Amino acid sequence: MSLLARVAERIYWGSRYLERAENSARTITVQHRQLLDLPAGATASWETVIATLGAGGLFQERYKDPGDKLAMWYLVGDEVNPSSVASCIHAAKENFRTARDILPQEAWYAVTELELVAQRKLRRRLVARSWCEGLDTIVEISQRINGLLAGGMSRGLGYQFLLAGRHLERMDMVTRVLDNAVVRTSGRKGSVILQRAIWRGVLLSLSAYQMYRQQVRRQIYGRNVVDFLLTDENFPRSVAYNLDRLKRAVTSLPRPRAVRTALGPLSEHLVRLDDLDGKALNADEVRAWVDAFQIDLARVHTAIGRQWFPRSQLTDEEVDAAI
Amino acid sequence: MPINWKRYGAKEGVYDELIKPGGRPRHGATALVRYLGDLTGERLARRQRAAERAIVEMGITFTIYSEGANIDRAWPFDIVPRTIAWREWSRIQKGLKQRLRTLNLFIDDLYNDQQVVADGVFPQEVLDGAKGFLEPCVGVSPPLGVWAHVCGSDLVRGGDGTVFVLEDNLRVPSGVSYMLENRIVTKQVFPELFRAGAILPVDDYPSQLLETLSALSPRDVEEPRVVVLTPGIYNSAYFEHAYLAQRMGADLVEGADLEVGRDHTVYVRTVRGRERVDVIYRRINDTSLDPRVLDKDSLLGVPGLIESWRRGRVALANAPGSGVADDKVVYAYVPDLIRYYLGEEPIIPNVPTYLCSDDRQREYVLDHLHELVVKPANESGGYGLLIGPQASQAKRNEFARLIRNEPRNYIAQPTLDISTAPTLIDNELVPRHVDLRPFILQGQSLAVTAGGLTRVALPEGSLVVNSSQGGGSKDTWIVGRPR
């Protein structure tokens, strides 16, 4: 029996939201810690994180003169923000709820637990200590869920949609974070120490710090961090790695041709990176690259929806007849 | 302190399912009552807590939808089982089959020749006022001549021990998953009592349901594609929909997953493309099934579904229009219908029922509101009814007005002192009122669950057993079948 298109879609979205919640939680925690270290007047602020996590317009609309605390609240628990960690967790749960038969039972319980933590710790206004505790717990439980899925879920169609959602979301997040860091460090703003702090923050928020150190064995320079996060084939949060895994997941799904075609330009973008090799980091070039990549990534997302979660599978003729 | 059944405190004139007046156990309950008597209230309470933990861990929930959010509540369960002796049950079982066979003949007759009206057994006026009668169903002959494939009939027992049918639910009766889960929990709590093998198992239901549904397939294939159609996660019975789909190995679908092709075939959308559906076990209301035919605003249904069903391209269980026979006015005629269609005497009696559409009966009802239960003809779930003895004068006046305005829409019944069963409340076993909902299947053949879902009204003196209104449930044991 084949997987229902709707169930596949909910698994895909559930997986994306889960991954987004975890990544956002880590990014926010890192930012919070860094803000405590930075000298007054430094260029880092919550607004750049808000831009990274993709909810800038709404934020400005809602809060006229936000302080740090309100800004953090907006990212952590604000119901108004569909990208807040708590909102992502809620969306993940609502998606998985209708697919709960497909998930291993313990994984579903852990998803329920995530929402409980979000309710207790993140939805409380203006209690930064509670938020930080909550965000740490969220990251932990998310890791547990990934473990439960890896260890207990059959590698059927459902699992492949789960992977597709996760890999796509990771590529999206990595490129957003890089884009933001490039902006903040461009034009040699601030001291070397400050620049280094920003790039260290990037690595930490993608839990890449330790693996970067092992692999690159050099000081933290923007050039190397960008390289590592885009092209390293062994690090499970790099773009190259996730693109490879996304291709594998897609290939094992029925009739993948259209989606494989849509994936082509992403590989080409990675190849094009070799041209930038050896040069100093050029902010404009990196930003242009990220923009192009993001556009093609969105196309892959659309292709997946069109191929496997269509609104209707009636032929045009049948639709005409029905009207 | 061990439980003293002599001090159990059953109410005078009320039948208790386990304990005879004077404290001795009823036939079939001896082993259970002796076993419980050896335990203390504290030890029982410990087992109750274990059962409640198991229910949370197993995720047995029902959903309450309020203020825009859906809350999953743990299923309320009392660990003390309710027993029925096999000898009595075998008679009840026959009565339930007799009833469902009759109702199906009746529905088929109404939508085709209406012989029952022509013969003067069922009045034209009652048919005219039946909200469950659906015009698009006229002239349809569903497979095997069966319309209602799944029926949940509510049984209650009066003070003298007589079992009555209180109502038949032919639309989308729910509760069977809780019957199955209650048994699993009880086996965990009282494994000792199951060793003798004297309690009839209940767990074959999903297989029987699948068999009933598969028999309706329009295609003669080895494994027809059966799906369960749910309104979605916000429905209070969503747990059950998912549960039954999983146990039958059927897909759980929403209306948006299905579409009807030009050839009037119903398809389900999968990641491999569309695939044909043969049988739909639908758990959404008649009127929501097809926005082209019934409720135009329904977002739950599938455009073209009714036409597909009319042409026999897909089977629907229960068939649309079945609800015409669970109208509470129609209910009053069921004993006559049994005699008419089967030439048999009803095995299980109805609760005496007054029809407000009849002038003399209405006058009686209006004069005796303080001692009657008044029910609207087309509501379920215990909503919109008047319990005369407990209601205020204002409430009774309001109902008198409603009855005069729309007599066809109301019936009245005497308040039954329905039976009780021992229930654990605050570490003590006390009598609480219960009913019983067995589930009856009709396809190629007829089958009845061994027992059913016993519902219990937990507040003292309460007669309302609905889980949405403070009711709990119990495992039901049919005991003593000769081997």
Q: What is the DSSP annotation of B303-372?
A: TTHHHHHHTTSSEEESPTTGGGGS-HHHHHHHHHHHHHHH----SSPBPP-EETTSHHHHHHHHHTGGGE
In the stretch 455-474 of chain B, residues with CB closer than 8 A to chain A read none
Question: What is the Cα–Cα distance from A133 to A135, expressed in whole angstroms?
Answer: 6
Residue A173: phi, psi to the nearest 5?
-65, -45
Q: Which of B271, B280, B293 to mutate to test the interface with A (most CBs of A within 10 A)?
A: B271
User: Does pLDDT of A33 surpass 90?
Assistant: no
Residue B441: predicted pLDDT: 98
Interface contact B272-A318, CB threshold 8 A: no
Residue A269: phi, psi to the nearest 5?
-60, -40
Q: What sign for the dihedral angle of Cα A243, A155, A18, A93?
A: positive
**Rounded CA Rg of chain A:** 20
CB-CB neighbours of A202 under 10 Å: 27
- pLDDT band of A42, cuts 50, 70, 90: low
Closest CA–CA distance from residue B120 to any residue of chain A (Å): 43
Contact in structure between A181 and A34 (CB atoms under 8 Å): no
- pLDDT band of A41, cuts 50, 70, 90: low
Each residue of B389-432: pLDDT tens digit? 888 999 999 999 999 998 888 999 998 889 999 999 988 899 99
Each residue of A275-308: pLDDT tens digit? 766 667 788 889 999 999 999 999 999 999 999 9
Contacts of B59 in chain A (CB under 8 A): 105, 108-109
- pLDDT band of A185, cuts 50, 70, 90: confident
Structure tokens that stand for A307 in this block:
């191929």
What's the helix, strand, coil split of chain B in %, to 5?
35, 25, 40
Return the residue of A nearest to B268 by Cα: A4
Q: Which of B63, B269, B290 to mutate to test the interface with A (most CBs of A within 10 A)?
A: B269
Tell me the H-state helices in B162-273: 176-189, 191-194, 205-214, 238-248
Amino acid at position B47, single letter: R
- Give the mean model confidence (pLDDT) for residues A159-186: 93
Question: What is the Cα–Cα distance from B314 to B259, expressed in whole angstroms?
Answer: 12
Interface contact B269-A4, CB threshold 8 A: yes
**Rounded CA Rg of chain B:** 23
Each residue of B297-310: pLDDT tens digit? 777 899 999 999 99
Of A80, A26, A70, A78, give the one whose Cα is nearest residue A47: A70
Residue A45: predicted pLDDT: 75
Each residue of B25-56: pLDDT tens digit? 999 899 899 999 888 888 899 999 988 888 87
User: Mean pLDDT score of chain A, rounded to an integer?
Assistant: 87
Residue position matching structure tokens 């897609």 = A250
Contact in structure between B435 and B474 (CB atoms under 8 Å): no
Residue B351: predicted pLDDT: 94
Which residue positions in chain B have pLDDT lower than 50? none
Contacts of A2 in chain B (CB under 8 A): 270-272, 275
ipTM for this prediction: 0.79
Contacts of A305 in chain B (CB under 8 A): none
CB-CB neighbours of B62 under 10 Å: 22
Nearest to B271 among A98, A253, A314 (CB): A253
Chain B interface includes A69 (CB < 8 A): no
Question: What is the Cα–Cα distance from A132 to A136, expressed in whole angstroms?
Answer: 6
Chain A interface includes B224 (CB < 8 A): no
Return the residue of B nearest to A321 by Cα: B262
Residue A98: predicted pLDDT: 79
Q: What sign for the dihedral angle of Cα A32, A34, A39, A44?
A: negative
Each residue of A47-104: pLDDT tens digit? 778 888 877 777 877 777 777 788 888 999 988 899 999 999 999 998 998 787 788 8
Beta-strand ranges (E) seen in B86-157 are 150-157
Question: What is the Cα–Cα distance from A157 to A174, expressed in whole angstroms?
Answer: 26
User: Is the backbone of residue B472 left (phi > 0), alpha (psi -120 to 50) or beta?
Assistant: beta
What's the helix, strand, coil split of chain A in %, to 5?
75, 0, 25
pTM attached to this predicted model: 0.84
Contacts of B304 in chain A (CB under 8 A): 322
Residue B225: predicted pLDDT: 95
Chain A interface includes B28 (CB < 8 A): no
Sequence-separated (6 or more) residues with CB below 8 Å from residue A163: A15, A245, A246, A249
Contacts of B231 in chain A (CB under 8 A): none
Chain-centroid distance, C-alpha B99:
14
Chain A interface includes B358 (CB < 8 A): no
Residue B383: predicted pLDDT: 67
Closest CA–CA distance from residue A254 to any residue of chain B (Å): 6
Chain B interface includes A8 (CB < 8 A): yes
B21: exposed, middle or buried (Cβ count in 10 Å: 0-12, 13-18, 19+): exposed
- pLDDT band of A323, cuts 50, 70, 90: very low
Question: What is the Cα–Cα distance from A203 to A198, expressed in whole angstroms?
Answer: 9
Contact in structure between A201 and A195 (CB atoms under 8 Å): no
DSSP 8-state class, residue B16? B
∠ CA B40-B45-B49, rounded to 5° = 150
Question: What is the Cα–Cα distance from A193 to A256, expressed in whole angstroms?
Answer: 47
Chain A interface includes B254 (CB < 8 A): yes
DSSP 8-state class, residue B469? G
User: Is the backbone of residue B16 left (phi > 0), alpha (psi -120 to 50) or beta?
Assistant: beta
Question: What is the Cα–Cα distance from A164 to A13, expressed in whole angstroms?
Answer: 10
- Give the mean model confidence (pLDDT) for residues A197-226: 88
For the beta sheet containing B258-260, the strands, ordered from the edge strand earlier in sequence to the opposite edge, are B258-260, B266-270, B273-276
User: Does pLDDT of A218 surpass 80?
Assistant: no
Contact in structure between A124 and A78 (CB atoms under 8 Å): no
